[in-house]
Structure 1
Amino acid sequence: MATAQQIEIATFGAGCFWCLEAALNELTGVKTAISGYMGGHTANPDYRSVCSGNTGHAEVVQVQFAPEQISFATLCRVFFSLHDATQLNRQGNDIGTQYRSVIFSHSPAQQTQATQIIEQLTNEALFDAPIVTELSPATVFHPAEDYHQGYYKQNPLQGYCQFLISPKMAKFRKQFAHLLQG
Structure 2
Amino acid sequence: MPKIRRVFYSFHYADIFRVNHIRKAGQFRPVDKQRLPTPQDRSLWEEAKLKNPGALKGMIDKGLEGTSATCVLAGYETWNRPWVRYEIAKSVARGNGLLAVYINNCNCPRSGYSLKGPNPLDQMAIGYDAQMRPRIYEWFNGTWRIFLRLGAPLASWPKWVPIAPQGQVMQLSHGARAYDWIADNGAHNLLHWTHDAAVAAGR
TM-score interval for Structure 1 and Structure 2 normalised by the shorter chain: 0.3 to 0.5
TM-score for both structures, normalised by structure 2: 0.31
Greater RCO (Cα-Cα under 8 Å, separation 6 or more): 1
